[in-house]
Structure 1
Amino acid sequence: MTINTWYHVACVYDMITQTQSVWLNGVLDGSSSATAYQDASGTTTIGAIYNSSSTVCFNGRIDQVRYESIAKTASEILNDATLYVYYSFDSSSLIDNGPNGINGTSFGNVTFTAGVVNEAARFSSGPYLYYTYSPFYFLGINNHPFSISLWVQPMKNYTESTLVFVHKLSGWCVHFLVINSTGSLKACLWNGGNVILSGPILPLNSWTHIGYTYSAINGIQLYINGTLYSTTGSITFSASGVPMNIILGSDKGFTYCAPGYGSSFTGTMDEFYLYSRELSASEIQTLSNP
């Protein structure tokens, strides 16, 4: 492990197969045979190795500790490790339905209406979803892979409007997904200069599924309704070096940020996912068919 780097660690014991395994960032790191724990009770200690004669403490940070009384599958562990936020917008809520509990905050009157799956969030050229802190550490790391998946329904007319805006509190900022004045979708990034990948014109008053994946090897890959639409090929991602914030539905007035246009979105958004890895084409296809 590298100092000052976050890792997701999972330990699984399967009583049926009598195996124990350790997973690092959703990938199996090691496994061995093990008999079941026999005692009727015991003490769980977090952050230290403890016995009656000495204590060895962990020097670092620990977050999101969870015990579950099941043997999770490989896909469940990968999801826990890499699904960073998921907003279904159901029950008229900005609650994070993913594993991390990173709930959104609304500025202005974000309303809710019928969506692709149950309810969706409606943005009326002003309201937006944001956070009171900067929870997205991996978006501040050079060349770190990520993926975005969401449904959008632009309404009213075509104007420059922001779907997904990524920024730090001052300085670095990029409109990751933005619509230009003719209705054309753009997927953007920063590598020391603007990286702009063109998508289709999004139809008004109709739902479109957007998938945006990034890795240093494949660059940006833009999917429309589950099908690969365009790609940049291999590119670097020059990140800010600090944890980042996200705004959905606006750029909060920072229209000058890359690629140089944005502003508030008028329309509806549903089923927003953000992953800290590059999703495969088949995974994007699955998300486009809820």
Structure 2
Amino acid sequence: MDKLTISRRAKSACEILEDATLAARFPFDNVATLVDFGPNSISTSASSYSILSSGHSLQAIKFNGSNSYFQASGFTQFSINSQPFSISLWIQPESRSGTLVHISTLSTGLGLWCLSLIGFASNGTLVAQIYNGTTVLSVMASTLIPLSSLFWTHIVQTWSSTNGLRLYIDNVLVASLPSATTFSASGITPNYATLASSLLGSGSCLAGAINATSPFTGGIDDFKIYSRELSATDVCTLYIS
């Protein structure tokens, strides 16, 4: 048994579902920048980052390019074949390049299974992708994300065997691949989620359409991982909250 909590009120069905399926949440606020505010108290580390005083909500984490990243360890859902998952984050990019979310079985970004799930293609378009055991399947946004200190952009990637791969930007479903009904996971725990870099160096991982060798430069706020597919209503709730 672990992480026992007692509530002094009856929780709603929505709150119970959130507690049961939220794997991690990182608001990146100045009080506890690297602390997991989700139910699992996941271990984290980071390098060469700074704090943005005005994030999407309160403060945010800022990545400055080479050797700048955030990493959290755990995430058993990425070790289970065809386990639904969703990733939500707000970004304020200074350039449209690099990896946003990278999953690996080693903290170096490498391992027997490693793949950048969200990032930018070489032409600057946003990409979400999965691995089906044979090939990396990708979806791309049709428009470019704005580069401006005035805007934060909300990104959500979801996957399930029912609906396949989906990519939302600012509460709009911009790309989907319903035929992507198989997700081949790592089969290993723990798995590491790295933001703003793949940490690959001279190594290699499953590539797909993301230019994974480039770092991401810019801000990230309110990063969340779920062990279920978020519905369109869920995405809307995250967007307006």
- TM-score interval, smaller chain: 0.7 to 0.9
State which of 206, 212, 224 in structure 2 corresponds to 1:273.
224
Quote the offset at 1:208 in angstroms.
1.3
Confirm whether residue 239 of structure 1 aligns to residue 190 of structure 2.
Answer: no
Confirm whether residue 80 of structure 1 aligns to residue 23 of structure 2.
Answer: no
State which of 157, 172, 178 in structure 2 corresponds to 1:227.
172
User: What is residue 8 of structure 1 aligned with on the other side?
Assistant: none
User: What is residue 102 of structure 2 aligned with on the other side?
Assistant: 165
Quote the offset at 1:112 in angstroms.
3.1
SS in 1 for 2:15: helix
1:1-290 equivalences under 5 Å are 62-91=1-30, 93-126=33-66, 127-131=68-72, 134-155=73-94, 157-158=95-96, 160-169=97-106, 170-191=111-132, 192-199=134-141, 200-205=143-148, 206-234=151-179, 235-243=181-189, 244-253=191-200, 256-259=204-207, 261-262=211-212, 263-290=214-241
Quote the offset at 1:73 in angstroms.
2.2
Contact 2:100–2:195 (8 Å) recurs in 1: yes
Rounded Cα–Cα distance in structure 2 between residues aligned with 1:112 and 1:227: 26
C-alpha RMSD of matched pairs (Å): 1.7
Rounded Cα–Cα distance in structure 1 between residues aligned with 2:112 and 2:228: 25
Contact 1:85–1:102 (8 Å) recurs in 2: yes
SS in 1 for 2:240: coil
- Number of residue equivalences: 225
Contact 1:85–1:99 (8 Å) recurs in 2: yes
Aligned AA (2:27): S
Aligned AA (1:272): F
Quote the offset at 1:256 in angstroms.
3.2
Rounded Cα–Cα distance in structure 1 between residues aligned with 2:2 and 2:39: 12
Residues 2-30 of structure 1 show CA distances to partners (whole Å, capped at 9, x for unaligned) of xxxxxxxxxxxxxxxxxxxxxxxxxxxxx
Residues 240-265 of structure 1 show CA distances to partners (whole Å, capped at 9, x for unaligned) of 11121100111012673232531211
Quote the offset at 1:190 in angstroms.
0.3
Distance of aligned partners of 1:256 and 1:204 in 2 relative to their CA distance in 1, 3 Å threshold: farther
Q: Which has the higher contact order (CA 8 A, sep 6+)?
A: 2
Contact 2:24–2:37 (8 Å) recurs in 1: yes
Quote the offset at 1:103 in angstroms.
4.5
Quote the offset at 1:115 in angstroms.
0.8
Residues 22-80 of structure 1 show CA distances to partners (whole Å, capped at 9, x for unaligned) of xxxxxxxxxxxxxxxxxxxxxxxxxxxxxxxxxxxxxxxx3322333333222221111
Contact 1:166–1:247 (8 Å) recurs in 2: yes
SS in 2 for 1:139: helix
- Runs (5+) with no aligned partner, structure 1: 1-61
Distance of aligned partners of 1:152 and 1:109 in 2 relative to their CA distance in 1, 3 Å threshold: closer
**Identity of counterpart residues, as a percentage?**
39
SS in 2 for 1:79: helix
- Runs (5+) with no aligned partner, structure 2: none
Contact 1:110–1:128 (8 Å) recurs in 2: no
